[in-house]
Structure 1
Amino acid sequence: MTAEDYINGHVILIDKPLDWTSFQVVNKLRWIIKEKYGIKKIKVGHAGTLDPLATGLLIICTGKFTKKIEEYQGQEKEYTGIITLGATTPSYDLETNFDQEFDHSKVTEEMVNEAVLGFIGDIEQRPPVFSALKKDGKRLYEYAREGKKVEIPTRTVHISEFEITGFSKPDIHFRVVCSKGTYIRTLAHDLGKAVGSGSHLSKLRRTRIGEFKVENALSIEDFEAGITS
C-alpha cells in the first residue's frame, strides 16, 4: 500500500478490542497512516458504531472511500453474544450498575425459544437512553447522565434471524441477524421482559456486515505491524 492508495480510498477491516470506542480506533488508524507516510491530513471514518463493551467487526474507510460509509452502514449485520437473566441496568448492558434484580428460577430454555419467535421480522424497538442518538441537538446519554428523563420514540427495525445457541442459566447465548439501527442491548432487555424476568446484555461481538466478515479482520496491532514493516 502507498500513501496514494489510502488517499484514493481503502477499506480496512478491524476486529475492535474490548473497551475501545469506535472513535478511538479511527483516531489510532489515522495516526498510524499519517506517521507511516508523512501525510498531514487524511479522512478516516468507520461504518457503524460498536459500543466500548462490544468487540468485533469495524469497517474503516479512508480517503475517498469515506463516501461509501453510509452504504456500508445500511447493510445487514450479524452478532453473537450473551444475554444474562436476573438483573437489569439503565444502559441495558454492563456499562452501568444493576438497578433491579429478578427471580429467573422459572425461566426455561423452551420459554426463551418461544419468546424469541416474537422478535423475528419487523419489530418496534425503543433505543436505550444510554445511546448516542440525538434529541433536540443533545445526545441521549447526556440526558441520562444528568438524570433527566426524555421521551424516546420507538423505531421499526428488522430481525431476520434470532437463534439461541446455548442456554446455561442465567446466560443465554445467541446469534442475531438484523437491519441497520437495531439495538442488541434493547433486544436483550426486551427478551428478559418477554420471559417474565429482567435481563441485560453481558457480551456482544459483531461477526458480519454485509459480505464483510470478522474472520478477515485485523487486530489494531497486526495492522500497525503490517503497515510499518
Structure 2
Amino acid sequence: MEHPIITAEEFKEGQILLFDKPLNWTSFQLVNKVRWMIRKSCNIKKIKVGHAGTLDPLATGLLIICTGKFTKRIPELQGQIKEYTGIFSLGATTPSYDLETEVDETFPIDHISEEDITEATKNFIGEIDQYPPVFSALKKDGKRLYEYARKGEKVEIPSRKITIENFEVDAANFPNINFKVVCSKGTYIRSLAHDFGKSLKSGAHLSELLRTKIGEFDVKEALNLEDFENKLPAEI
C-alpha cells in the first residue's frame, strides 16, 4: 500500500497519527519511538510529540499521537467518546484488575446464567460512579497510585463520574465474557471488569482489551511502526 511521505515541516505544522499500540508497550514508549523516528529521518533536533489518551501496556489498539502544533489539540481529542472490545474472565480477581498481577482470590461461578450476565450490564449504563484501580498512573499527594500499590500501602481513592453509553456482552465462551463498551473519557475498563464480577456475586478481571475507536477515529485506519516508517522522508 502506498503511503504519502510526510516532511519535517508538515510534522512541525502538525499531524494526527493513528497507531495500533503493540502489546506490552507503554503509550509513552510508543511516543518516544515515534519521536525518535521523526527526528532521525527528518534530521531535526526537536519536535513536539504527544499522545491523546493512555493505553495500559497489556491493552492494544488505537492510540492517537499528535506532532508539532497539533499537540495543542490533545485535550480536545482525549475528551472524545471511546469504544473498546475485549474479554472479562469471571471467577477470579487480581490486585491490578487485569493480568499485570497474579490471581489473588477465586469465586464461584456455577450460579451465573447467561441471562444474569446480560441483565448485569444494565447496572452500568448511563452516568455511574467508578473507583479507578489502585494500580494506575493517577496521582495522589504527588505519587502515582501504582507506587503505593506496589509497596502494599493502603490509599483512599475517590470515585469519579463516568458515562457508559453502550455495554454489550457475549457469554458463548463462559467463563470468559466477550464485551463491547462505548464510554466517556476517564473510564477504566479494568474497574468495569472488577465491578461487573461483583455485580454477579462473583469476581472478574480484564484479560484482553482492544481500543477500537476514539470519536470518529477507528483502529482500522491505524498504522504499525513499519507502515509509519514508509511515510518518513528517509530510511532509518
Flag whether TM exceeds 0.5 (same fold).
yes
Which residues of 2 match residues 1-229 of structure 1 at below 5 A? 1-227=6-232, 228=234
TM value normalised by structure 1: 0.98
> 1:75-128 CA distances to partner (integer Å, 9 max, x unpaired)?
000000000001100000000011001111221111011010010000000000
Code of the aligned partner of 2:122: L
TM value normalised by structure 2: 0.95
* CA distance in structure 1 between the aligned counterparts of 2:231 and 2:73, rounded to whole angstroms: 24
Code of the aligned partner of 1:126: Y
Determine what percentage of the aligned residue pairs are the same residue. Answer: 66
Secondary structure of 1:152's aligned partner: coil
Does the 8 A contact of 2:12 with 2:69 survive in 1? yes
Which residue is equivalent to 2:3? none
Q: Give unpaired runs (5+ residues) of structure 2.
A: 1-5
Does the 8 A contact of 2:117 with 2:171 survive in 1? no
What is the total number of aligned residue pairs between the two structures? 229
Does the 8 A contact of 1:16 with 1:220 survive in 2? no
Give the 4+ runs in structure 1 shifted more than 6 A. none
Q: Give unpaired runs (5+ residues) of structure 1.
A: none
* CA distance in structure 1 between the aligned counterparts of 2:57 and 2:172, rounded to whole angstroms: 25
* CA distance in structure 2 between the aligned counterparts of 1:11 and 1:165, rounded to whole angstroms: 34
Does the 8 A contact of 1:78 with 1:177 survive in 2? yes
* CA distance in structure 1 between the aligned counterparts of 2:67 and 2:7, rounded to whole angstroms: 12
* CA distance in structure 2 between the aligned counterparts of 1:142 and 1:10, rounded to whole angstroms: 34
* CA distance in structure 1 between the aligned counterparts of 2:170 and 2:92, rounded to whole angstroms: 21
1:18 deviation in Å? 0.4
1:166 deviation in Å? 4.3
